[in-house]
Chain A
Amino acid sequence: MGGGRRTVSREIASTSTEVGDDITGRQDVSAALSVHDLSFSYSGQPVLESVSFELKAGEFAVLLGPNGAGKTTLFSLITRLYDYRQGEIRVGGLDLHRHSVEAHARMGVVFQQPTLDMDLSVRQNLSYHGALHGMTPAEAKRRASQQLTRMEMQGSLNLRVRHLSGGQRRRVEIARGLLHEPRLLLLDEPTVGLDIASRRGLVEHVHRLCREQGVAVLWATHLIDEVYPEDRVIVLHRGQVCADGGIGDIMAQTSSDSIGDAFDRLTEGETR
């Protein structure tokens, strides 16, 4: 699997930032997300092989990979929709197996598929999510209003989701993902099905969130134009991390003129 591909690896500082499990959440020196030597197979078919990377607090990382690279599987493992037997995942220093409840409370997720209830209002959808994180209705309402204001969507609180545009729905999903104030936000191809303007707006918006709120973001995509020059890029191809670093580093190490070129070389020109 990918034997002849170039591998640009970032040193995983697994020992320097590791402080062990702390379910009180007092120590912030742990990485927001740490994936170490993670492998996963379906019916004997490897989907992920020895995937390792770390995400610091407030860092925006783009998980770049062609369709079928294993991005959604990686997200399903981090969110515990699937279970893993080989490797380790830590969220804010907490082992996902041992402290599933606390680790889940620290992460927000925006799935590839739209997951809002179309017949319910924005408020009802957000209130449901708040309840799933143990919030009182009043607290969920306060936070929903706060998040929607940040998204410049405060007027849509009582609108039915069905009446929102695709871009607005995605913003509501991001507001929902941030409702319980997680330190890590996972977005799995969140721009699927959006027009160019909405896509651009969403990418900008999440970058701003990352800067202003210090939330660590892992943004999975196969679209090169969603990568900002200052972003860290983790290239996933055929279940393996084949590059991890800043855009400049990856371009230099692949002798490419652009990140698109570098991506093509790393993924052997598979469909972007």
Chain B
Amino acid sequence: MSLAAYGHCLRGVVGRELLRFVHQRSRFVAALVRPLIWLFVFAAGFRMALGVAMTEPYQTYILYEVYIVPGLVGMIQLFNGMQSSLSMVYDREMGSMRVLLVSPFPRWYLLICKLLAGTLVSIVQVYVFLAIAYFYGVQAPLAGYVLILPALVVSGFMVGALGMLLSSFVRQLENFAGIMNFVIFPMFFLSSALYPLWRIREGSYLVYQIASLNPFTYAVEMIRFAMYEHFNAEATLIVVATTAVLLGLAILAYNPARGMMTRKAGAGAE
């Protein structure tokens, strides 16, 4: 297979994911409504109680709405990653996952294409959300909207790889609700998405320690810094390393020789 053929494969997988996204308008609306409610209702309500003192990367005191936006961007990507994972379980149950996996391209490449496709869908959602937030009054420097893009790609890959790994363990679609309860919510709430780490530490040292170990915290911080024209090397390094580990495990899990696919066939084998 030539390099151009690899490119066509990537274009096909990404194109299909975008088309599916366009067809599923309710998914798009749901993906936007969730963070907007947090921004318009939750953040506005807590503005007075939770004003944030001057902290990096902000140059001045900021309103709580300003603080919460990068966390909500992370939330969009987290939910989208899990949505992609859900659709992989659905595709596997419905059989369409097989169409992807019997392609002649190496499986690791197909999975990366799938991840990139999911990440691009999440980035579209993020930019629509940021545009609404901009007109609502949460405005970052214009360069920040460009600098955030590579950060969104890396963080999108991280949560997408996590979702892909989880999808390899989930036997049935019905079990997916557990993922929501045990993965998405703890990852989101036990991070710096809603409050800065120093403030969490004031409330509970244990929660602070957990949040410090949560890779989602670093994804949010990487996005926050990029949005305000700063580069957070520590956060980026942690997110990249976590992505590499999760991606490696997901590829392993979908490898026919070593992974879960064979065992999952289990009793249904014919």
Contact = CB atoms under 8 A, between A and B. Distances in A.
Interface of A: 42-43, 47, 67-73, 76, 79-83, 100-105, 107, 109, 111-117, 119-120, 124, 127-137
A123 B15 CA distance: 13
Interface in B217-270: 255-257, 261-263, 265-266, 269-270
A131 B17 CA distance: 13
A115 B19 contact: no
Nearest to B94: A113
Interface stretch (B67-75, B103-111, B122-130, B204-212): B103-111
B142 interface: no
Given A68-B270, A117-B96, A131 B23 contact: no
A130 B266 contact: no
A114 B94 CA distance: 8
B98 A79 contact: yes
A259 to B, nearest CB: 22
Given A82-B256, A131-B13, A134-B8, A72 B103 contact: no
Contacts of A130: 8, 12
A115 B95 contact: yes
Contact of A115 (B13, B94, B265): B94
Contact of B23 (A76, A116, A119): A119
Given A83-B262, A128-B15, A101 B105 contact: yes
Contacts of B9: 131-134
Chain B at the A interface: SS class? helix
A134 B5 contact: yes
A75 B18 CA distance: 31
Contacts of A111: 95, 98-99
A68 B106 CA distance: 30
Contacts of B99: 111, 115, 128-129, 132
Interface-centre pick from B20, B94, B256, B269 (highest chain A CB count, 10 A):
B269
B102 A109 contact: yes
Q: Size class of B's contact patch?
A: 35 or more
Contacts, number: 123
B104 A133 contact: yes
7 closest residue pairs by CB, A with B:
A131-B12, A134-B5, A113-B95, A104-B104, A132-B103, A83-B256, A72-B270
Interface of B: 1-2, 4-6, 8-9, 11-13, 15-16, 19-20, 23-24, 94-96, 98-106, 110, 255-257, 261-263, 265-266, 269-270
Contacts of B5: 134-135
A138 B7 CA distance: 14
Nearest to A188: B270
A133 B98 contact: no
A82 B262 contact: yes
Contacts of B105: 101, 132, 134
Contact of B96 (A109, A115, A131): A115
Nearest to B23: A119
Given A114-B94, A117-B16, 14 more contacts: A42-B265, A47-B269, A70-B270, A79-B101, A80-B256, A100-B106, A103-B104, A104-B103, A105-B1, A120-B20, A128-B13, A134-B4, A134-B8, A135-B8
A243 to B, nearest CB: 19
A107 B98 CA distance: 14
A136 B9 CA distance: 9
B1 A134 contact: yes
9 contacts: A80-B102, A81-B256, A83-B255, A105-B104, A115-B96, A119-B23, A131-B8, A132-B12, A134-B104
Contact of B102 (A104, A113, A135, A137): A104
B73 to A, nearest CB: 28
